[in-house]
Chain A
Amino acid sequence: DGGITQSPKYLFRKEGQNVTLSCEQNLNHDAMYWYRQDPGQGLRLIYYSQIVNDFQKGDIAEGYSVSREKKESFPLTVTSAQKNPTAFYLCASSTGQGGIAYGYTFGSGTRLTVV
């Protein structure tokens, strides 16, 4: 079945530590996205990528980094510079600018907690 796989489902980070969230898709989508969701605050865009080796900052990119070395993969690193990383992180993909709109497909999310 086609879809997006996020791992791990739960992640705990110590102060000053970098952690990487995995996102893999087998939908052959060109575009991929990372969102952060806090209670009652909706979805805020962290980074997005239209093609391999290219990505753009979203609305809240500070303290985060990404890479897009393969079409299928878009990992997100939460760095120690992100002072309030506790949140629910969602990865999504879509056909992109040149594709027919079928809407985003979301992963099941990673819940990151600072301990």
Chain B
Amino acid sequence: QQQVKQSPQSLIVQKGGISIINCAYENTAFDYFPWYQQFPGKGPALLIAIRPDVSEKKEGRFTISFNKSAKQFSLHIMDSQPGDSATYFCAASINDYKLSFGAGTTVTVRA
């Protein structure tokens, strides 16, 4: 049973466009929501994370939006670049233990 549902499975965006990936969770005890970026053949790397007491967090071109009442959170990639082409995973956990991962979204940025 997947505790975190992620969509879409893949998306294609033009260079300079906005990529949006959505995730939904069920467990209201989750209190830590990270996003990971993975390039082919590499391990995932932490991109950005948010706690539920904050509705938005921005780091450079990456923004997490968090809606606690709807139990949803999303990643926005602004001004998408070809180097952003990767697979993105959302995740959720209680503190820093035993993350539940979404199924992943493959983002392709066309030049």
Contacts and interface: CB of A to CB of B under 8 A. Distances in A.
Contacts of A45: 98
Interface stretch (B60-68, B70-78, B99-107): B99-107
Instruction: Tell me which of B45, B94, B99, B101 has the highest count of chain A C-beta atoms within 10 A of its own C-beta.
Output: B99
B95 A43 contact: no
Secondary structure of the B contact surface, majority rule: strand
A109 B96 contact: no
Contact of B42 (A48, A103, A109): A109
A11 to B, nearest CB: 14
A42 B97 contact: no
Contact of B97 (A43, A97, A108): A97
B13 interface: no
A16 B97 CA distance: 34
Interface residues of B, number: 23
Interface of A: 4, 6, 31, 33, 40-43, 45, 48, 50, 88, 90, 92, 94-109, 111
Given A101-B32, A108-B42, A42 B101 contact: yes
Nearest to B105: A42
A48 B43 contact: no
A106 B98 contact: no
A96 B97 CA distance: 5
A41 B106 CA distance: 11
